[in-house]
Amino acid sequence: MFQLILIHPKIIHFIIALFPVVLLLDILGLITKNEKFHFAAWINLLFAGASAAAAVISGLIAEERVTHSEEVHEIMETHETIGIIVLIAVILLIIWRILLKGRFPKKGAWGYFTISILTVGAMFYGAHLGGNMIFKYGVAVEAISEGGHEHSGGMESEDEHIPMDSTETEGVPQNEEKAESEDGHEGHRH
């Protein structure tokens, strides 16, 4: 079944992939003095901007619909702020390039690179926080109820595999709507 809250984790990977490529292409263009690299960076920057906007919008939608604890709420707010900062930075770079008809700025190149590098760093830190929300706190993750698959490093054959039962799922993040946070409060829906 389609779940609106699951769009954000799918879209976010586009900006995470595209924007570092923009930076790399512009660096290659500067080193080789080949304008084709800068043109490719410009095209990727446009797609990065569109994906950043979609990621922020889908993240805001997910935030309103996903159940989460107070602890996760603080992480989510920081993640959201970083996402908005990244979007603003990418839009600023797009406007800068539009004013130059898509060309790489010869004057102010170090400022442009500084904004780009800081944006990549912020984006990766935001991705780290997003990963923690999912993999550490289980936000929007449903636990496998029965017949879970377990890896043992290749030491057992398929015949020896024993599915997890409900007693083995203690400590495994459960669906936040059913789980209580560590302080005993039920999940928080923003």
Please tell me the distance from the alpha carbon of residue 11 to that of residue 52, in angstroms, as a whole number: 8
Instruction: Return the number of other C-beta atoms located less than 10 Å from residue 142's C-beta.
Output: 13
Give the residue, 157 or 86, on which the prediction is more confident. Answer: 86
pLDDT tens digits, residue range 79-112? 999 999 999 999 999 999 999 999 999 999 999 9
Give me the chain's average pLDDT, please. Answer: 82
Please tell me the distance from the alpha carbon of residue 48 to that of residue 28, in angstroms, as a whole number: 18
Question: Is residue 189's pLDDT more than 90?
Answer: no
- Ordered structural domains, the chain, with CATH: 4-136 (1.20.120)
pLDDT tens digits, residue range 105-128? 999 999 999 999 999 999 999 999
Contact 8, 61 (CB under 8 A): yes
User: DSSP of 100-150, one letter per residue?
Assistant: TTTPPPSTTHHHHHHHHHHHHHHHHHHHHHHHIIIIIT-TT-PPP-SS---
Contact 117, 125 (CB under 8 A): no
Total H helices, total E strands in the chain: 4, 2
Contact 38, 26 (CB under 8 A): yes
